[in-house]
Amino acid sequence: MSLDLTARTALVTGASAGIGREIARVLARDVGTLVLVARREDRLRDLADELAAARPALRVIVRAADLIDRAATGAMVDDLEREGVVVDVLVNNAGFGDQGLFEATDWGKTERMLELNVVSATFLLHRLVPGMVARGRGAIMNVGSTAGMFPSPGLGVYSATKAYVNLLSEVLHAELADTGVTVTAVCPGPVPTEFQEVAGTTGKNPMPKAFHIDAAQCAEEAVRAMRAGDARVIPGAAVRATMVSVEAVPRPILRLVARTMARRLRRR
Ligand SMILES: NC(=O)c1ccc[n+]([C@@H]2O[C@H](COP(=O)([O-])OP(=O)(O)OC[C@H]3O[C@@H](n4cnc5c(N)ncnc54)[C@H](OP(=O)(O)O)[C@@H]3O)[C@@H](O)[C@H]2O)c1
């Protein structure tokens, strides 16, 4: 059965660009209230204007916040609670990557990535899940990655953060099964967005172009899976078929492939 989003309040992190902005556009067709979160407030306001113009009944709330700042994130959730905004759909999407051999990466960027992709996403779950369980209803979408499904040389810490998101989502899907709260892990393959520029991976993704999908398709498939209460979705048929095969490959063979890829990176 598909989740009825009418009158629901959805909070989308990373709504100023890429996949998050497209997820906001999809949710805006049905939800009652949409809370848009990211650092670039001008982008969020432009999106809010666009969405409100397309559907005047929709209430759009903009919250500019750096999600790495725990105190600011906590204050944002407190403010929403004080204003009577009850979030029952959480889209944990904000995140970024970093490319490079581990020893060559910058600690500051690595720490920020861990803080955003892992700690901030977990913090928001920790703040919002108890209320959902108490009310007996809620939906969570955590944006992980196919990069978290196998060892990805050159994307070490990023892929490990996404393995965390993928696995925590599966655990919570099981733990919350009888509470009325669903949890869906979205595991995209390559989606051209600002992600590649931020991660330094532009032109370096080994996946052929045929595996790329756009952010709008990724968002449609992600929201469809969340509404169905699916544990996981890998958007895009080609990536999905490939990853199902990769998951069947014995781990020692995946490690050998990873070593070959790593040797190539080291020779560059
Ligand atoms: N694109 C891909 O190929 C791909 C593949 C697999 C998984 N993913 C995952 O999909 C998610 C969305 O990525 P994307 O491709 O849409 O990337 P994107 O276009 O770079 O968007 C990232 C979003 O995260 C927000 N963000 C970054 N740092 C933030 C911070 N400190 N506080 C608050 N918001 C922050 C950005 O907004 P501001 O800069 O305005 O704060 C932006 O809205 C990420 O979790 C990514 O790991 C992407």
Ligand 1 touching residue 213 (CB < 6 A)? no
Whole-number Å distance, alpha carbon 122 to ligand 1 midpoint, is 16
Alpha-carbon Rg of the chain, whole angstroms?
18
Best residue among 39, 68, 197, 202 to mutate for probing ligand 1's pocket (most ligand atoms within 8 Å of CB) is 39
pLDDT at 200: 87
The closest-lying atom of ligand 1 relative to the alpha carbon of residue 97 is: 47
Q: Is 148 in the pocket of ligand 1 (CB under 6 A)?
A: no
Question: In angstroms, rounded to a whole number, what is the distance separating the alpha carbons of residues 122 and 178?
Answer: 21
Q: Which residues are catalytic?
A: 158
The 3-state secondary structure of 66-91, one letter per residue: CCCCHHHHHHHHHHHHHCCCCCCEEE
What would the pLDDT profile of 178-210 be if each residue is shown by its tens digit?
A: 999 999 999 999 999 999 999 988 777 667 788
pLDDT of residue 16: 98
Atom of ligand 1 nearest to the CA of 197: 20
Ligand 1 contact via 95 beta carbon (within 6 Å):
yes
Does 47 contact ligand 1 (Cβ within 6 A)? no
Closest listed residue to residue 15, CA positions, set 219, 231, 159: 219
Distances (CA, A) of 146 to 152, 219, 234: 10, 15, 8
Regarding the beta carbon of 45 and ligand 1, being less than 6 Å apart is answered no
Which residues, at least 6 apart from 73, have a Cβ–Cβ distance to it below 8 Å? Answer: 65, 67, 120, 123, 124
Instruction: Work out the burial of residue 240: count CB atoms within 10 Å of its CB; fewer than 13 is exposed, 13-18 middle, 19 or more buried.
Output: middle
Going residue by residue through the chain, which has 268 residues, state the pLDDT in tens, using 9 for 90 and above: 789 999 899 999 999 999 999 999 999 999 999 999 999 999 999 999 999 999 999 999 999 999 999 999 999 999 999 999 999 999 999 999 999 999 999 999 999 999 999 999 999 999 999 999 999 999 999 999 999 999 999 999 999 999 999 999 999 999 999 999 999 999 999 999 999 999 988 777 667 788 999 999 999 999 999 999 999 999 999 999 999 999 999 999 999 999 999 999 999 8
Structure tokens at 32: 């009652």
Q: What is the pTM of this model?
A: 0.97
161, 152 contact by CB (below 8 A): no
Q: Which atom of ligand 1 is nearest to the CA of 186?
A: 7
Task: Return the pLDDT at 253.
Answer: 97
Q: Pick the atom of ligand 1 nearest to 165's CA.
A: 45
pLDDT at 136: 97
Count CB-CB contacts under 10 A for residue 107: 7
Ligand 1 centre distance from Cα of residue 134 (Å): 30
**Nearest CA among 251, 256, 252, 268 for reference residue 100:** 268
Supply the DSSP string of 207-235, one letter for each residue. S-GGG---HHHHHHHHHHHHHHT-SEE--
Q: Which atom of ligand 1 is nearest to the CA of 117?
A: 45
Q: What pairing do the DSSP bridges indicate for beta strands 181-186 and 138-143? A: parallel
Q: How far is the CA of 198 from the centre of ligand 1 (A)?
A: 9
Residue 204 is predicted with a pLDDT of: 72
Q: What type of residue sits at position 86? A: V
Domains of the chain by range and CATH? 9-267 (3.40.50.720)
CB of residue 218 inside a 6 A radius of ligand 1: no
CA–centroid distance, residue 54 to ligand 1 (Å)? 24
Q: Is 236 in the pocket of ligand 1 (CB under 6 A)?
A: no
The pLDDT, as a whole number, for residue 53 is: 97
